[in-house]
Amino acid sequence: MKIHEYQARDLFAQFEIPVAQGGVAQTSGEALEIARKLGFPVVIKAQVLVGGRGKAGGVKVVSQEAELVSEFNRIKALTIKGYTVDLILVAKAIDIQKEYYVAVTIDNIKGDVVIIISAEGGVEIEETAKTNPEKILKFYLQGEKTLDERRWALVAAQIFPDTRLQKSATSIIAKLVKLFFEKDCSLAEINPFAINGEGNLIAADAKVIIDDNALYRQEKVSQLRDLKYDDADELEAKDKGLSFVKLEGNVGCIVNGAGLAMGTMDAVNLLGGTPANFLDVGGSSNPEKVLNALKIILRNPDIKVILINIFGGITRCDDIATGILKALNQIKMPVPLVIRLTGTNEAIAKEMLAKAGLTTYSSMRQAVTEAVKLTK
Ligand code: GDP
Ligand code: MN
């Protein structure tokens, strides 16, 4: 879950990571009020959950009231990467002398938390990674949940020009690491990590992504979700107890169990098709879930076929069959259904479905092959 910069700044402040004072405004009147308290110049920044706001014209330093109002209105009217601007952050402008980059994130391949740091901040790190990969340093926490300052000192010395900055960066980054773990982040990024007019380090931007799987224990943070950025179908699926992720393809998949759902998507790909979604109806067998799954999947106009792949263990195939039959009674199926059922109560399920004129498969390969064929 991404949170807005103004929310991430609040987290930074809680962890004593220096940020410029500021507030968030909906109207130019509110923005003026904040700016008067702070004193000019201020920076105004579109609060959208996408990167590259600067390039898109969503960030502007303004030095007087009339300019604030006109720039506020300009930014408010922007659409940045498809998103309208609802809120604008007004913060005391930092007199930026130099821009660094720092992030704490997860290296999935190494299975470790990594600090990524560069003296080439401000720009998007992906750009630097392409053009000057040697200018980006990585420091692995090696399973630790705190910054090993002695080992880190060697990295800090390569990035920051003097011991005062090395020390202050180390102290701030140790706090960023603390925030990363305490708030169950998958990313905590400061870009630019700036030197201000007094020569001190300060976070001039704040980006935090919280691991969705940890939201159950991050009650406060999870309330920060901006629903505008969530897929309505995915939210509804979650509400109905389904794990659902929309994809680009045209084979709708309904599967029991996350592992089999992944395997099904792989099989669809291997046999020449493209899955339209990941969907796990869960381990238990509730006919209602099959009905809900079909309804959600069928909203996708790309769907050419629906593949139901059930390996019955705790899930009973006859419950799934009941769900399918119930759905067929309620919705007119615009695409063919390919059903593979095996395991608990398989024979009962197959008989129920055969009576309704539906063919079923026991072999996953046969079912997937048939489903892919029907998309061509
Ligand atoms: P992003 O483009 O979405 O990452 O937005 P940022 O908040 O990082 O802002 C983009 C750029 O605007 C930064 O790299 C800075 O160069 C500039 N900027 C942001 N805040 C300030 C500020 O307080 N003072 C100055 N002088 N420049 C700023
Ligand atoms: Mn930035």
Q: Kindly give the distance from the C-alpha atom of residue 155 to the centroid of ligand 1, in angstroms, as a whole number.
A: 25
Quick one: which of 333, 332, 341, 338 has its CA closest to 362? 341
Q: Which two tokens stand for residue 106?
A: 């997860």
Tokens of 23: 């507030």
Contact, 222 vs 1, CB < 8 A?
yes
In this predicted model, what pLDDT tens digit does every residue of 356-371 receive, in sequence order? 999 999 999 999 999 9
Residue 283 has pLDDT above 80, yes or no: no
Ligand 1 neighbourhood includes 352 CB (under 6 angstroms): no
Look at ligand 1, atom 16, and give the residue with the nearest C-alpha. 122
pLDDT (average), residues 141-146: 97
Which of 42, 196, 205 has most ligand 1 atoms within 8 Å of CB, for mutation? 205
213-227 pLDDT, tens per residue? 999 999 999 999 998
Task: Tell me: pLDDT of 172 over 80.
Answer: yes
C-alpha 48/C-alpha 184 separation (Å) is 22
How far is 86 from 77, CA to CA, in rounded Å? 9
Whether ligand 1 lies within 6 angstroms of the CB of 53 is answered as yes
C-alpha closest to that of 246 among 300, 317, 205: 300
Tally of residues, the chain = 376
pLDDT at 314: 87
Q: Of 30, 34, 54, whose CA–CA distance to 42 is shortest?
A: 34
**Atom number of ligand 1 nearest to Cα 205:** 7
Q: Which mutation among 43, 55, 68, 198 tests ligand 1's pocket best, with the greatest number of atoms within 8 A of CB?
A: 43
DSSP character at residue 334: -
List of domains in the chain: 21-92 (3.30.1490.20), 98-222 (3.30.470.20), 232-375 (3.40.50.261)
CA distance 127 to 104: 18
Q: Which residue has its alpha carbon closest to ligand 1 atom 24?
A: 94
pLDDT tens for 87-97 read 999 999 999 99
Average pLDDT over residues 187-194: 98
Which residue in the list 101, 346, 361, 370 is annotated as catalytic? 101
189 as an active site residue: the answer is: yes
Q: How far apart are CA 309 and CA 52, in angstroms?
A: 41
pLDDT at 132 over 80: yes
The whole-chain average pLDDT of the chain stands at 95
CB distance 185 to 2 below 8 Å: no
pLDDT band at 287 (very low <50, low <70, confident <90, very high): confident
Mutate to test the pocket of ligand 1, among 96, 98, 200 (most ligand atoms within 8 A of CB): 96
Q: Which long-range contacts (CB under 8 A, 24 or more apart) does 266-274 make?
A: 267/364, 267/365, 267/368, 268/307, 268/368, 268/371, 268/372, 271/365, 271/368, 271/369, 271/372, 272/372, 273/249, 273/368, 273/371, 273/372, 273/375, 274/247, 274/248, 274/249, 274/250
Q: How much is the pTM?
A: 0.81
Residues forming a β-bridge with 83: 80
**For residues 305 and 339, is the Cβ–Cβ distance under 8 A?**
no
DSSP assignment of 222-270: HTT--GGGS-HHHHHHHHTT-EEEE-SSSEEEEESSHHHHHHHHHHHHH
Q: What is residue 284's predicted lDDT score, i.e. its pLDDT?
A: 66
Q: Which of 189, 346, 361, 370 is catalytic?
A: 189
Identify whether the C-beta of residue 80 lies closer than 8 Å to the C-beta of residue 48: yes
In this prediction, residue 137 carries a pLDDT of 97
Catalytic annotation present for 101: yes
How confident is the model over 332-364, as pLDDT tens digits?
899 999 999 999 999 999 999 999 999 999 999
For the stretch 305-326, pLDDT in tens is 999 999 998 889 999 999 999 9
Question: What percent of the chain clears pLDDT 90, i.e. is strictly above it?
Answer: 88
Distance 109 CA to ligand 2 centre (A): 26
The Cα–Cα gap between 31 and 64 comes to 12
**Which of the ligands is closest to the CA of residue 100?**
1
Between the alpha carbon of residue 123 and those of residues 6, 77, 255, the distances in Å are: 20, 24, 42
Count H helices, E strands: the chain?
Answer: 13, 18
Question: Going by CA atoms, what residue is nearest to atom 14 of ligand 1?
Answer: 122
- Nearest ligand 1 atom to alpha carbon 56: 2
Centroid of ligand 1 to alpha carbon of 204 (angstroms) = 6
% of residues, the chain, pLDDT over 70: 99
Nearest residue by C-alpha to atom 7 in ligand 1: 205
Instruction: Identify any residues that bridge with 314 across adjacent strands, giving them in sequence order.
Output: none
